[in-house]
Structure 1
Amino acid sequence: MFDLNVKADIKPLARSLDDLARRQVPFATAKALTAVARKVQDAQRAALPSVFDRPSLFTQRSIGVKAARKADLTATVFVKDIAAQYLEPFEFGGQHHLPQSKRGGTLFNPKAVPLNQYGNLPKNTLKRLSGRKDVFVGSVTFKRSGQTVSGVWKRPKAGWRRADVKRGYKRTYGTKGALGTEGGVKTGLTLLVRFGDALPVQPRLEWRKRAAAVVQANLKAEFQKAMGEALATARR
């Protein structure tokens, strides 16, 4: 998990307060910091579509807030662990995080598989595909190019055969349907999901910069609002 602690020096805002008001400062501060943290949360969620194409609801909902308390005047805006793994490189740089397949490779470049509305593989797609008789998970090496491609493959339909009774074997003469091309070679196999390497990521999330701007723009007003509500309650 990576997080951002929304902290601020409230002392300059509290110097002109009387004794009654000063006693309300911790409560008002906690309330103001939590309110600002929620504004940061909203701003981060709203910015996701400018960085990612159709960010999933899982990604949007992974941004959370831990409220400040009188005993702990720190509000925390955080990203839950799973989403933090693939969002972190977009803030700090590094390699793109790709989910691991059961065979140890990383998932990359879905090809002949329907994607969901967010452009991702639907949940349990690999499990469903690997359970099909016409699909296998593994590596294929092409003799002409020497290239090895790992992924989820669909086998071709059975071709027509001629039995040779004298020699005791059957010979396949072709496959039904169009042939695909992988590694520069025609093949009856269809690559559904390719396992590949992670690519470098250019940081562009601007998580910290955006959070700092939201804090600066809203803290004073939220503190004054919280103080007003706290004083109104204390004087009743």
Structure 2
Amino acid sequence: MRSTISANGLDEALASLSSLGEGLAARALADALNHTANQARLALRAEMADVFDRPTPFTLNAIRILNAKPNTLEAAVWVKDEKDNASKGFAPEDWVAPQVFGGPRAEKKSESLLRAKRILPAGKFIAPAAGARLDAYGNISRGQMQQILSGLLAIQGSAGYTANASNSWRSIKKGHEQAFFVMRRGKAPIGIAERRGKTVLMVLAFVSQPQYRRRLDFHGVVERTADESLETNVDKAISNALNGNLPSNFKRRPQSQPSR
């Protein structure tokens, strides 16, 4: 998912650039486009912090910039679409896109593991229940989720390794395998409960697939930033060009950080 920024329609600004000569004009315009893209990145970050419920730093830092260059006079702002260890099997685009376009939430890694063990019924997803321990962002804590998956023998490890509960004395001492079980209403599974002593609490509820409404005007934020700032940034780039202050490397522009 990306939104592009170009100088289309800025006839007056382009006319001003032409006075610099072709080579310098292209460098100045690329610099102005990249500066505008960075402003759009910061505006999107602020918008995400405003419309999302306690977004994680990982989500807020997922906005990337594809820089314009003197021979490619178009910048782009996009949501990171590659996966890494911190994304729990998802790219940030997977959970940001439904907030932009609306639609169903993608399946989480924990859900696919529970579904593979035939614990989570087809068509159902998980949501924190009354007994869930939540982190600062309103999600079930990673530690408790690991306990649940381990207790239900749902963790898939690498060859020769498993994090599931076992018959070892360490595993028995933790008590996860005895603590977690599928709670049912009649014959229908409705969630996962935790029993510790005489206390029984539901920790995960089985729910219908969550549907997101459109909350983040991704493309609108980028367009408004370009409308408000690009012409000013072109004027600044012209001044920098005349003073010999244009960057020579357009692969990566230093990105300013949001104010705190």
Instruction: Tell whether the structures are fold-level matches, with TM greater than 0.5.
Output: yes
What is the deviation of 1:122?
2.8
Paired residues of 2:62 and 2:92 also in contact (CA < 8 A): yes
Matched ranges for 1:221-232 at <5 A: 221-232=232-243
Structure 2 SS opposite 1:77: strand
The AA in structure 2 aligned to 1:114 is R
Paired residues of 1:109 and 1:195 also in contact (CA < 8 A): no
Distance in 2 (CA, whole Å) between partners of 1:230 and 1:16 is 12
Paired residues of 2:114 and 2:149 also in contact (CA < 8 A): no
Closer, same or farther: CA 119–70 of 1 in aligned 2, 3 Å: same
Number of the residue aligned with 1:204: 215
Distance in 2 (CA, whole Å) between partners of 1:225 and 1:50 is 30
Distance in 2 (CA, whole Å) between partners of 1:29 and 1:65 is 16
Closer, same or farther: CA 74–59 of 1 in aligned 2, 3 Å: same
Distance in 2 (CA, whole Å) between partners of 1:26 and 1:205 is 33
Matched ranges for 1:82-93 at <5 A: 82-93=91-102
Number of the residue aligned with 2:230: 219
Superposed CA RMSD: 2.3
Closer, same or farther: CA 217–210 of 1 in aligned 2, 3 Å: same
Structure 2 SS opposite 1:141: strand
Number of the residue aligned with 1:33: 33
Number of the residue aligned with 1:163: none
Structure with higher strand content:
1
Number of the residue aligned with 2:71: 71
Paired residues of 2:49 and 2:60 also in contact (CA < 8 A): no
Number of the residue aligned with 2:7: 8
Select 1:135's aligned residue among 151, 167, 179: 179
Distance in 2 (CA, whole Å) between partners of 1:29 and 1:136 is 60
Distance in 2 (CA, whole Å) between partners of 1:87 and 1:4 is 14
Query: Bigger radius of gyration, 1 or 2?
Result: 1
Paired residues of 1:35 and 1:222 also in contact (CA < 8 A): yes
Select 2:205's aligned residue among 177, 194, 197: 194
> 1:123 and 2:134 equivalent?
no
Number of the residue aligned with 2:128: 109
Number of the residue aligned with 1:149: 190
Unaligned 5+ residue runs, structure 2? Answer: 82-90, 151-175, 246-260
Structure with higher helix content:
2
What is the deviation of 1:222?
0.4
The AA in structure 1 aligned to 2:204 is V
What is the deviation of 1:124?
4.7
Deviation per CA, 1:12-38, whole angstroms, max 9, x where unpaired? Answer: 423255654443111011111110011
State, as a whole percentage, how many aligned pairs show the same letter.
23
Closer, same or farther: CA 107–8 of 1 in aligned 2, 3 Å: farther
Distance in 2 (CA, whole Å) between partners of 1:18 and 1:74 is 17
Unaligned 5+ residue runs, structure 1? Answer: 158-175, 178-188
